[in-house]
Amino acid sequence: MSAGRRFSHAIAEGDGISVVAAVEDAEAARAAEAQRAEALVVLRDPASLREATALPILWRAEAALQRAAEVADAVTVTLPDEDDDHDPAQHRHEEALAFGLDCAVEVTTEEEVERALEVLDPEIFLLAPPQSGEQERLEAVLELLAAVPAGKLAIADLTVTTEEEVQELERAGVDAVIVHAADVSPLVGELPPDV
């Protein structure tokens, strides 16, 4: 992994909210980069994307961490149910960090945010409320965000399609939002001036 592609830095630096494009292939990755996305998120092995883009990649799957360290910059960790053993999640989190990967802990409820803080104390939260109406999901993300302590990074997982929703998330303090690759350009704002 190149230090220049560190996922957490990409979504934390700069002004405003970062756009993380959900992509499936190299063409979509190149398009997202051209439209000024700050990072990518994928569900399948991102090896084919690695040569297509310099953007950091979050591999959102229970991928083998050694493989992830070769082709991605960050992975997700999900917590088991409250009564289940948390050791596997702790081990995955520690091992991912040891491989030099950033680790985004996926949470769906405020209780999961609290457990994640207690068990893992992660740097990055992926706020992914259960499927429901889009307005309800936006409100659910904002409620989850309220449980995330200052100093932690928060990524909203919504099917965001409007600039207004992105602005609302930004005002609330969300660091990044996942959008479909085709929706990136209208959401990142104006091109910076040439200097």
What torsion do the CA atoms of 50, 106, 178, 41 make, to the nearest 10 degrees?
10
**pLDDT at residue 192, as a whole number:** 45
Sequential DSSP letters for 107-157: ESSHHHHHHHHHHT--SEEEE-PPS--HHHHHHHHHHHHHHSPTTSEEEEE
**Domains of the chain with CATH codes:** 3-187 (3.20.20.70)
Report pLDDT digits (tens) over 84-117. Answer: 888 989 999 999 999 999 999 999 999 999 999 9
Sequential DSSP letters for 144-191: HHHHSPTTSEEEEE-----HHHHHHHHHHT--EEEEEGGGHHHHS-SP
- Residue carrying the six token digits 């409620």: 143
Q: CA end-to-end span of the chain, whole Å?
A: 31
Picking from 70, 73, 29, 7, the residue whose alpha carbon sits closest to that of residue 182 is 29
**pLDDT at residue 2, as a whole number:** 41
Instruction: With beta carbons less than 8 A apart as the criterion, state whether 116 and 128 touch.
Output: no
State the Cα–Cα distance between residues 13 and 111, nearest whole angstrom: 28
Q: Which two tokens stand for residue 87?
A: 């050791």
Q: What is the pLDDT along the chain (195 residues), one digit of tens a residue?
A: 443 458 999 999 877 899 999 999 999 999 999 998 999 999 999 999 988 999 999 999 988 999 999 999 999 999 888 778 889 899 999 999 999 999 999 999 999 999 999 999 999 999 998 876 666 888 999 999 999 999 999 999 986 667 888 899 999 999 999 987 666 655 555 544 444
Q: Which two tokens stand for residue 51?
A: 């040569």
**pLDDT at residue 86, as a whole number:** 84
**pLDDT at residue 130, as a whole number:** 81
Q: Which two tokens stand for residue 67?
A: 């493989």
**pLDDT at residue 132, as a whole number:** 66
Residues 150-184 as b/e (b if ≥16 CB within 10 A, e otherwise) read: eebbbbbbbebeeeebbebbbeeebbbbbbebebb
